[in-house]
Structure 1
Amino acid sequence: MTRASTALSFTFFAAAPTVKVDHAVAHDYRLGDLQIGHTWTKPAVAGSDADLYAPIFNMGDTEAKLVAVSSPISDSAQLHGSADDGDLPIAAVDLPPGKPVATAPWREHVVLTNLKRTLVHGDSVKVTFDFGRAGTQVLDVEVEDPSGD
């Protein structure tokens, strides 16, 4: 090994511990052809509902669907349509092949109904996404306050 390559190797490894891992990358999940990104919800009080958001990317060749969601922290979980559709419950969220779907208040999203406990910034809660034939995935959902408070 030359002196230059030794110095380069040392510089790389010495700097490695200072690399910061992106919070969103740390909570990605993979279920077959489905990639589920950073999943989060806002703080909410016990007895209320909480919307949950997640980017989902179907990297396969066939359509997939998110057909159900469940969580021990709520009485039930519902899939809801877009604001244009009146934000009403829907049967499934379509996940077309090769396209990302980002759930959001104005798009399809999950609603955790009648929370059993208060969710505060920094909490993490378990939620299970059911993709029908593709299987189920348990997620650690972060409680985040987007206002920064």
Structure 2
Amino acid sequence: MKTLTLAAAATFLGLSLTASIAHDYKHGALEIGHPHARATPPNAPVSGGYLTIRNTGDAADRLIGVKAGFADRVEIHEMSMENDVMKMREVTDGLEIPAGGEVELKPGGYHIMFIGLDSRMAEGETRTATLAFEKAGSIEVDFSVENIIKMKERMSKDGHADMDHGDMDHGDGGHGGMKHGG
């Protein structure tokens, strides 16, 4: 009996460690994968947040907001090319997560902007933010802070674009040489 209990405990512990390493969350019909944010140099005013949201349900939902105690404000942004100019704009009506579909927030596309950081975001730490969904409600998630090199390595392994919002000069309020707005 003692051996069975130890085996069960080891299995449970192994599953718990796997879940924490995987860095995924389940919230109703939504699965939130690998929330991470870009490490920043000292005094940087902004950082980008990235994750994947999969909707396993039969109805669409929307990411309608994000709150974080470590930033003055948080916005959902979209980057796109228009007439050979990279533009970034806030998504003001939320981000739809289609039924049975998935949305990836990543550099060069949809992403979360943490604006007015209270301190440097250092590699290896985690920062907690609350994601608010129209139907599923709110969930707290931990964003692991990663350096740009590790983010690029993972993205190239996953076959994602090499565009990185963090490579831009943030000296003008956090938006580099891009045009911001509608």
- Same fold per superposition (TM over 0.5): yes
- In the alignment, structure 1 segments of 5+ residues that lack a partner are 1-11
What is the root-mean-square deviation of aligned Cα atoms in Å?
2.4
Q: Secondary structure at the match of 2:31?
A: strand
Alignment partner, residue 32 of structure 1: 28
One-letter code aligned to 1:43: A
Aligned residue-pair number: 136
After TM superposition, where is structure 1 displaced by more than 6 Å over at least 4 residues in a row? 16-20
Indicate the structure (1 or 2) with the bigger Cα radius of gyration: 1
Q: Which residue of 121, 130, 147 maps to 2:132? A: 130
Contact 2:39–2:148 (CA under 8 A) maintained in structure 1: no
Offset from partner CA, 1:85-132 (integer Å, 9 cap, x none): 621101211100111111112221100001001111001011100002
Contact 1:47–1:116 (CA under 8 A) maintained in structure 2: no
Alignment partner, residue 80 of structure 1: 77
Q: Secondary structure at the match of 1:62?
A: coil
Choose between structure 1 and 2: higher strand proportion.
2
One-letter code aligned to 2:66: V
- Greater shift in the superposed pair: 122-131 or 86-95: 86-95
Cα gap change, 1:23 to 1:31, in 2 (>3 Å): closer
Alignment partner, residue 54 of structure 2: 57
Contact 2:27–2:136 (CA under 8 A) maintained in structure 1: yes
Offset from partner CA, 1:21-69 (integer Å, 9 cap, x none): 37651x2111110000110011113451100000100110111000000
TM-score, normalised to structure 1, is 0.80
TM-score, normalised to structure 2, is 0.66
**In 2, Cα distance between the equivalents of 1:24 and 1:96?**
27
Shift of 1:18: 8.9
Shift of 1:84: 2.9
Quote the sequence identity (%).
Answer: 23
Alignment partner, residue 89 of structure 1: 90
**In 1, Cα distance between the equivalents of 2:98 and 2:48?**
23
